[in-house]
Amino acid sequence: MTHYRNIVILTGAGISAESGLATFRDQGGLWENHRIEEVATPEAFAFDPDLVQNFYNMRRAALGTVAPNAAHKALARLEAEHSGQVLVVTQNVDDLHERAGSKNLLHMHGELAKARCRPCGKVHDWREDLHQTTPCPACGAAPALRPHIVWFGEMPFHMDMIEAALYEADLFLSIGTSGNVYPAAGFVAQARSYSRAHTVELNLEPSEGHSQFAETIHGPAGQIVPDYVEKILGGG
Ligand code: APR
């Protein structure tokens, strides 16, 4: 049995790397082949909506070709077996945490498998390609549907719930993220200052913010995350 009560876990693209999904800033990452300004901003969508829709159509289609890895499954096990609270806050827009069994999960940057109607605001589960001609199933408008993704310059989702969870956390884990993008990169400082949480970085290599963590464990998530979960559940 562990002595931690409330565990908040931030995940980034690195936790999905071993499932075969490209990260953003590693060698050959998504931002090597695309300019953020051309595919991941509201201005890009206004300027060339078909280019942006296709960028997300390709990534949405890839979801069907990948599966959760041992790291996703370990976090789902932790939620199922830990007596206290476990909240996963993911920057990822893939559905691998859900498919691994995580339930208490917030997608702060949105979800590839969802589309949002700009006129009526309705958010729809969406697995197929999205085009400007695709009508909104709720209000029938077209063009209307956009990827339910938080673009650069837009506010991340669920920030109030995340803030409240950080206040209560006594353990904060950061897994597979480079610590380049705020507000997620600031969570470790909030967890430390709000609640004196123990903070651990689990990443392939030291991230931008590694010096802010009380503990750092480096290696592939598929190995180090199950080991760490075993340690927590075993009361290590
Ligand atoms: N195991 C653990 N960590 C890994 C692995 C692995 N197998 N492979 C890569 N990593 C680490 C890298 O070392 C890097 O620190 O995962 C991190 C990935 O960093 P990024 O590519 O920057 O992805 P992320 O931190 O999730 O980006 C944050 O930026 O572009 C925006 O909205 C996008 O949500 C994304 C945000």
Task: Please write the tens of the pLDDT for every residue from 15-61.
Answer: 999 999 999 998 888 888 888 889 999 999 999 999 999 999 999 99
Contact of 162 with 187, CB cutoff 8 Å: yes
CA 180 to ligand 1 center in whole angstroms: 9
CA 119 to ligand 1 center in whole angstroms: 33
**Secondary structure (H, E, C), 158-183:** CHHHHHHHHHHCCEEEEECCCCCCCC
Q: Pocket of ligand 1, candidates 21, 27, 162, 177: which has the most ligand atoms within 8 Å of its Cβ, to mutate?
A: 177
Q: Which atom of ligand 1 is nearest to the CA of 178?
A: 15
Q: Which atom of ligand 1 is nearest to the CA of 184?
A: 28
CA 167 to ligand 1 center in whole angstroms: 25
Residue positions annotated with a catalytic role: 109
Task: Please write the tens of the pLDDT for every residue from 89-117.
Answer: 999 999 999 999 999 999 999 999 999 99
Task: Please write the tens of the pLDDT for every residue from 123-177.
Answer: 999 999 999 999 999 999 999 999 999 999 999 999 999 999 999 999 999 999 9
What does the block give as tokens for 52? 């942006």
| C-alpha closest to that of 15 among 108, 89, 81 | 89
Task: Please write the tens of the pLDDT for every residue from 3-12.
Answer: 899 999 999 9
Q: Which atom of ligand 1 is nearest to the CA of 91?
A: 34
- Looking at the predicted structure, is the pLDDT value of residue 235 above 70? no
The DSSP 8-state label assigned to residue 156 in this structure reads P
Residues lining ligand 1, judged by CB closer than 6 Å?
A: 12-14, 17-18, 23-26, 29, 91, 109, 176-178, 180-181, 203-205, 207, 220-221
Peptide bond into 183 cis (omega under 30): yes
Residue 1 — very low, low, confident or very high, per pLDDT cuts 50/70/90?
low
